């Protein structure tokens, strides 16, 4: 008698926590989850201030827990969730509580330094993390990754460039890598003259040709600071020497990252510019999740072009690469100063070119004062971040810094 093979058992849904559920990454994550019914269970969601949308997402996915960063928004969130059975919390402790809920994967997408502590809490609690928050690695890269190693946590890169590199590596070790390139679209000012860039308005800087992102990241993309911050991230994610990291300007945003190996082979991560692709890769890993993202048609595109970045017109990238080479606390200082100056530009307090100039002046100030010791832990990194922000805000009142 021949027995028929047993039917494979249904795979349990992957349990997710989404930190930054109402931002651009959060919205794309929501779309990926909605397009893969039965594949995921959302346990907890968190956001900064958007209470109404946070409550909506929590209800749509039947989350057990929702937290808003704004401490005073607790009553509003509780009211929005009334009758749902979803527990509400607020403030930094509420975010940490969300991050530490029992889950298979935490999406770390709270923007800015505000995302560091809750994402670190998830790592400390032993949760795998899909990382879309740059500051975790730019501000506190060494202690963050050290804790990940200690807890046996997998950090999956969700940024399109790092995710492309992750896939292009194919499991190869860092020792076999000769060079690693992150690509930059060049932003809205790629073909502008230096004089035109100097007169750029926030509205012009926010008009990115390829990507839809939050305002801070979009301004960083226009200045190419974003690419410098991503190089710092890559150093921590992939464990490569800073000298092996570089940037290529690639206007089509089809090739997101390239890796050159010791034997001369080069692999590239390619996809249409749509964040749902790297998000789906992280959510499904090691499996693949189908998405409705546009498919790459190279014949229709016809040509892919690459060029070296122009440090004269885009000095922010040079400043960031110098901070990468300096190491220590300099990436933390760079990041904090940049956040303040980008906010000042968006508020029309300073010109576009002043972002890089003032960030560089702040970095030089702390270097002169001997403030470049690497933070030993996340608390130290955030203390440096706070101090630099205060000095940066004061510098806005003094042209000489």
Mean pLDDT, residues 91-103? 97
Three-class SS of residue 256?
A: strand
The rounded percent of the chain whose pLDDT value lies above 70 is: 97
Kindly list the distances between the CA atom of residue 271 and the CA atoms of 6, 276, 280, in Å, as whole numbers in the listed order.
Answer: 38, 10, 12
Q: Please tell me the predicted confidence (pLDDT) of residue 7.
A: 41
- Asked whether the beta carbons of 356 and 121 are under 8 A apart, the reply is no
pLDDT at 9 over 50: no
The rounded distance, in Å, linking the Cα atoms of 84 and 62 is 8
* CATH 3.30.2090.10 for domain 14-157: no
Q: How confident is the model at residue 10 (pLDDT cuts 50, 70, 90)?
A: low
Q: How confident is the model at residue 140 (pLDDT cuts 50, 70, 90)?
A: very high
Mean pLDDT, residues 114-134? 96
Higher-confidence position of 318 and 371: 318
CA dihedral angle for residue 294, residue 297, residue 303, residue 309, rounded to 10 degrees: 30
pLDDT at 385 over 60: yes
Residues 6+ apart with CB under 8 A from 310: none
- Domains of the chain, by residue range, sit at 14-157
Q: Please tell me the predicted confidence (pLDDT) of residue 54.
A: 97
Q: Please tell me the predicted confidence (pLDDT) of residue 212.
A: 72
Exposure string for 142-177, b = 16+ CB within 10 A, e = fewer: bbbbbbbeeeebebbbbbbbbbbbbbbbeeeeeeeb
Indicate the average pLDDT of the chain: 93
The rounded percent of the chain whose pLDDT value lies above 90 is: 88
pLDDT at 128 over 90: yes
Give the containing element (helix H, strand E) for 182: strand 177-184
Q: How confident is the model at residue 139 (pLDDT cuts 50, 70, 90)?
A: very high
Which residue has 């399109």 as its token pair? Answer: 160
Mean pLDDT, residues 89-109? 97
């Amino acid at each position: 008698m021949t027995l028929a093979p047993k039917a494979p058992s249904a795979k349990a849904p992957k349990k997710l926590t989404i930190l930054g559920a109402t931002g651009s990454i959060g919205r794309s994550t929501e779309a990926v989850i909605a397009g893969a019914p039965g594949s995921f269970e959302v346990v907890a969601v968190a956001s900064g201030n958007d209470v109404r949308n946070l409550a909506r997402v929590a209800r749509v996915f039947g989350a057990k827990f929702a937290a808003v960063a704004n401490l005073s928004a607790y009553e509003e969130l509780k009211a929005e969730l009334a009758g749902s059975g979803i527990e509400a919390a607020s403030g930094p402790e509420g975010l940490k509580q969300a991050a530490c809920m029992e889950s298979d994967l935490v999406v770390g997408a709270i923007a800015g330094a505000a995302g560091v502590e809750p994402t670190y809490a998830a790592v400390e609690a032993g949760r795998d993390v899909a990382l879309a928050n740059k500051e975790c690695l730019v501000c506190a890269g060494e202690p963050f990754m050290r804790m990940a190693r200690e807890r046996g946590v997998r950090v999956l890169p969700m940024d399109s460039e790092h995710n492309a590199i992750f896939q292009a590596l194919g499991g190869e070790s860092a020792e076999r890598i000769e060079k690693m390139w992150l690509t930059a679209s060049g932003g809205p000012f790629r073909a502008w003259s230096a004089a035109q860039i100097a007169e750029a308005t926030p509205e012009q800087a926010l008009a990115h040709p390829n990507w839809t992102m939050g305002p801070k990241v979009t301004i960083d993309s226009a200045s190419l600071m974003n690419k410098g911050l991503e190089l710092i991230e890559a150093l921590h994610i992939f464990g490569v020497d800073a000298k092996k990291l570089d940037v290529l300007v690639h206007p089509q945003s089809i090739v997101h990252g390239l890796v050159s190996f010791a034997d001369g082979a080069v692999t590239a991560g390619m996809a249409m510019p749509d964040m749902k692709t790297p998000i789906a890769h992280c959510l499904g890993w090691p499996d693949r999740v189908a998405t409705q993202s546009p498919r790459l048609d190279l014949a229709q595109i016809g040509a892919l072009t690459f060029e070296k970045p122009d440090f004269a017109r885009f000095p922010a990238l040079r400043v960031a690469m110098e901070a990468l080479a300096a190491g220590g606390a300099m990436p933390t200082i760079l990041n904090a100063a940049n956040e303040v100056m980008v906010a000042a530009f968006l508020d029309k307090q300073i010109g576009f070119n002043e972002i890089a100039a003032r960030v560089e002046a702040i970095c030089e100030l702390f270097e002169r004062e001997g403030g470049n010791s690497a933070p030993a832990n996340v608390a130290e990194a955030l203390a440096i971040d706070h101090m630099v922000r205060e000095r940066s805000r004061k510098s806005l009142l003094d042209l000489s810094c």
